[in-house]
Structure 1
Amino acid sequence: MSDVFTSAWFYWAIGIAIGLPVGLITLTEWQHALRRRKSFLLKPVTLLRNYLLPLGALLLLMIEASRVPAGSTSVRMVGTLVAFVVLVLLLSGINAAVFQSAPDGSWRKRIPGIFLDVARFLLIAVGLAMIFAYIWGANVKGLFTALGITSIVVGLTLQNSVGQIISGLLMLFEQPFKIGDWLDTPAAKGRVVEVNWRAVHLETGTGLQITPNSVLAGASFTNLSRPPGKHTIMVTSVFAVDDAPDEVCAMLVRVASELPQCHPDLPPSAVPLGAKEYQTKIPLKSPADDGKAKATFLRWVWYSARRAGLHLDEAEDQFSTPERVTAAIRSIVAPTLRLDREEQQRLIPHATMERFGDGELVQRSGEVPAGIKFIVSGEVRLTAIAEDGSEVVVGSHERGSFLGQSTLTRQPVIGWSYAVGEVTMVYLAREQVETIVHDNPLLLQEFGRTIEQRRDYMLRAVATSEGDDAS
């Protein structure tokens, strides 16, 4: 019995029997804590708990407790597994501590994943060579010589593919783009969704464009996402010779600035190019908005140019005819303003028909209306800006309603009005409305009540929205 307590294997066995469960419990608690924090160190700790600790205990048990010779095959196999797990653990720990946890924008975060794969492959190759050399006594020098000759033969056979890989590595080392950037290449225009050893994958409007790295490295391309916030599109328009250039440019800039895709901190601009052409420069939030921004701009310019009396594509607007104006005043304006037939006839020469495109701004918050617009067809959505800066929909107006009633009191509008679908309106200038109201004081009182009711309704709607968000 005394021989057992004096034997070295006994204390190794007791230490392993106690240390292994304690180590497993400790590492399990650490693993749970890292999982709750969603830490990048979770994977290395899992490798340590599930593989390295049990294999290390087994190796110690075989060598120290069971006295198995170190040169036996079983010990070498377990030792190989332990060394390989240590190698994987070191690589995983370095990757988690240095690269995965790196802050955005740092050099560690900007290193392409392909470089990490190459470095990881080389380290694994060197590590395996050391394992075979020290544990199994293999002649790794001859192995490396054979691999070198084989690599030369394979390189000559696959020189085109290897050239693409080298081109990709050099291009990624320069880092002219990253995942998520928008590129305009000779082959296609799209967003970078993947970069691998052979090619760059671009997501375009017609599918996935695969461009080999060697082709992209040898060609000229544009990174539309750099510098950030500086992407613009150019739209060319044609107007008649008689249209005043300053008036045309002001209209184009106004329409461009109202686009939802327009960059809020960068103003658009428009310049005449000569030969009846004008070019509008529109800064956008993202290159992804190119197509939608251009389509919306062209559609809104069509409506805005006709309202301003300009001749887009040298075309005449034949919409505001006396017949349409007469019908709109008889069916929409006369019931609201209580006009008799004689007053309607006097009003016809001073009224005009206007159209707004879907989503176009009809009335701006803070402006004093120059007249009243009566809705003939379509719908107008009313919105307001809450204290947190969000836009709140507070109501809508349909056929028979009107906007700009505060033109008589010279009060600024407190909400925004947008067209829902195509909207047709009949417009009366302030002077004409004042003449009508002057002959009918009761109408002025009704306008005053309407102004107060709409103001109170909009303020209540904003307050209700803010209360719902807070709850």
Structure 2
Amino acid sequence: MTADVFTSSWFYWAVGIAIGLPIGLVLLTEWQHALRRKQSALARPVTVMRNYLLPLGALLLLLTEARQVPAEATSVRTVATLFAFVVLVLLLSGVNATLFQGAPAGTWRKRVPTIFVDVGRFVLIAVGLALIFSYIWGANVRGLFTALGITSIVIGLTLQNSVGQIISGLLMLFEQPFQLGDWLDTAAARGRVVEVNWRAVHLETSTGLQITPNSVLAGASFTNLSRPGDTHKITVTTIFSLADPPNQVCALLTRVAAELPQLRPGGTVSSTPVGGLEYRTTIPLTSPADDGPAKTTFLQWIWYASRRAGLHLDEAADDFTTPERIAAAVAEVVAPTLRLNAEQQQELIPSATLDRYGADEVIQRAGEVPDRMTFILAGRVALTTGTGDEPRLTIGTLEEGGFLGQSTLTRQPVIGYAHALSEVTVVHVDREHIELVVQRNPLLLQEFGRAIEDRRASARRVLSTRTEG
């Protein structure tokens, strides 16, 4: 009896399955973990192989070889159907992972729309299932294919317009004139592409989500504002008085636009008079998303800058600076710092000016040698490090009564930037008058020297902290 067991073929099949199945599961598990660590697209096909194909294959061999169940039995046919279906899914998943998911950017495989892949997968699954039922169950599928073919022709003729629109949209997606994140300017809307599917393109606009059918885009012209890169720009038109010198106006507009935080790195700003009272400023930007913020900031800054320069934006005259306001500002913030009496304050008024700066506007630039001292009358000013293209770090904040530009006496360049945190009103005093005041009171020079060293020390501490971090 024992000899019959060892000489039977089913015994070796049973032992082989009992040993081979665990070993195969262990090997496929290790392979699966390795692919997941590499974030490989093949991880999913290997998972299908481990969880479904290998157990079903072992069960099929156990039924047909170890148990000697006839192939015509319902249990064998059921397991064989499941096994063949998993093989079909595995092949499709493997082809998709190697051919499309791992395709290099810019190749035709990467440009194939997902809907094409899904339709192809559906057709192959349908054909595969038909073959499976034909060979395993002996089903006659020829009539089914004939009926499906006739039905497809009838449906195609009935819906030829709708299907044509869908196909035209899919062909446009295959060409890929845009991708997620691009900005489109269409006849219906202007916005950023946030979703693309087989039916429509979703644009995020300032008024909400604009859904445009693919067939509409395929049948009309539109502009991709994001391609080619580094070409996007906006044009802002402004009006100045006829008495303002055009060269001064253009220089002002160019300087203000060049300091915008939204300016594209390496971009060149240009301003030109276009006739009448109009001036056109071209500002290169990184993305159309910056259009609104850049234009708003530019118009805000030139309102303040034009008044500081004595120019007349929108032909408006500025009556903010008056002798009475300058005298009050000198008495409030300049006299306490410079220790001036009433007579000295009157002497200083002719050399003082009153200016305003908009929020985030630069008041002092790193590396420049100031030609005057600046006293803060209202608002808050942030002092930051001047480190080129690197992010600026805050050294400190000045409020009402604070001052800038004390290095005008030592003729040293300033080490950082100063920009307004809100609207800031300041009093400027020329260097010549500051020198006269210091000559009368030498102790002021020592105090200014200590202020310079304190700010330099603060800047060094901030930079050293970033270096250590």
Structure 1 segments unaligned to the other structure (5+ residues): none
Q: How far apart in 1 are the matches of 2:356 and 2:210?
A: 41
1: distance between equivalents of 2:17 and 2:386?
Answer: 69
Contact between 1:379 and 1:420, CA under 8 Å: does it hold in 2? Answer: yes
> By how many angstroms is 1:107 displaced?
4.8
Alignment check: 8 A CA contact 1:52 1:86 kept:
yes
Equivalent residue, structure 1, for 2:128: 127
Kept after mapping to 1: 8 A contact 2:113/2:170: no
In structure 2, distance between residues paired with 1:84 and 1:360:
67
Paired residue for 1:12? 13
Residues 24-67 of structure 1: per-residue CA shift (max 9 Å, x gap): 12222222333334332221111111100111111112222222
CA distance in structure 2 between the aligned counterparts of 1:145 and 1:291, rounded to whole angstroms: 59
Task: Report the AA paired with residue 28 of structure 1.
Answer: T
Structure 1 equivalent of residue 233 of structure 2: 232
SS of match in other structure, 1:291: helix
Could you tell me which amino acid in structure 1 is paired with residue 393 of structure 2? V
TM-score, length basis structure 2: 0.94
Q: Using the TM superposition, give the Cα deviation of residue 388 of structure 1 relative to its aligned residue in structure 2, in angstroms.
A: 9.2
Structure 1 counterpart of 2:461, which letter? R
Q: Deviations along 1:236-268, whole A, 9 cap, x unmatched? A: 111111111121111111111211111111122
Q: Which amino acid aligns with 1:91?
A: L
- Which aligned pairs between 1:385-464 and structure 2 lie closer than 5 A? 385=386, 389-464=390-465
Secondary structure at 1:316's aligned position in 2? coil
> Residue 386 of structure 1 contacts residue 466 of structure 1 at CA under 8 Å; is this kept in 2?
no
Residue of structure 2 in register with 1:293 after alignment: 294
Amino acid at match of 1:358: A
8 A Cα contact 1:359 1:418, kept in partner: yes
The alpha carbon displacement at 1:104 in A equals 4.6
1:108-133 per-position Cα deviation (integer Å, ceiling 9, x unaligned):
44443233223323332332233233
Q: Distance in 2 between matches of 1:358 and 1:36?
A: 49
The structural deviation recorded for 1:326 is 0.8
Shift, 1:411, TM fit: 1.4
Distance in structure 2 (CA, Å) of the matches to 1:43 and 1:104: 21
Cα distance between partner residues in 2 of 1:430 and 1:129? 93
Number of residue-to-residue matches in the alignment? 468
- Structure-2 residue corresponding to 1:63: 64
CA distances 1:388-440 after superposition (whole Å, capped 9, x unpaired): 92321111111001111112222111101110111110112223323333443
The corresponding residue for 2:78 is 77
Single out whichever of 14-23 and 102-111 deviates more from structure 2: 102-111
Q: 3-state SS of the aligned residue for 1:437?
A: helix
Deviations 1:354-405 (A, max 9, x none): 1111111111111111211110000000111469923211111110011111
CA deviations over 1:144-182 (Å, ceiling 9, x no partner): 332222122223443443233212111112211011111
Instruction: Point out the more displaced range, 379-388 or 39-48.
Output: 379-388
Residue 355 of structure 2 corresponds to 354
Alignment partner of 2:215: what SS? helix
Q: Cα offset for 1:450?
A: 2.1
1:41 corresponds in structure 2 to 42
Aligned sequence identity (%): 68
Cα shift at 1:296: 1.2
Name the counterpart of 1:380: 381
CA deviation digits over 1:259-306, x for unaligned, max 9?
111111112211111111111111112221111111111111111111
Separation of aligned partners in 2, 1:437 and 1:347: 13
Coordinate RMSD, CA, aligned: 2.0
Superposed counterparts of 1:311-330, under 5 Å: 311-330=312-331
Q: Is the 8 A contact 1:386 1:462 kept in 2?
A: no
Aligned partner of 1:184 in structure 2 is 185
Cα offset, 1:11, TM superposition:
1.7
* In structure 2, distance between residues paired with 1:375 and 1:240: 30
Describe the shift of the 1:108–1:29 C-alpha distance in structure 2 as closer, same or farther (beyond 3 A). Answer: same
| Counterpart residue number, 2:346 | 345
Q: 1:139 to 1:245 in 2, by over 3 A?
A: farther
Is there any run of 5+ residues in structure 2 with no aligned partner, and where? Answer: none
**How far has the Cα of 1:443 moved from its partner?**
2.5
* TM score, norm. by length of structure 1: 0.94
More displaced stretch, 319-328 vs 58-67 = 58-67
Counterpart of 2:263 in structure 1 is 262
Alignment CA distance shift 1:430-1:110 (3 Å): farther
AA aligned to 2:46 is: V
1:239 and 1:313 in contact (8 A); partners too: yes
Q: Residue 421 of structure 1: SS of its match in structure 2?
A: coil
Query: What SS does structure 1 have at the residue aligned with 2:368?
Result: coil
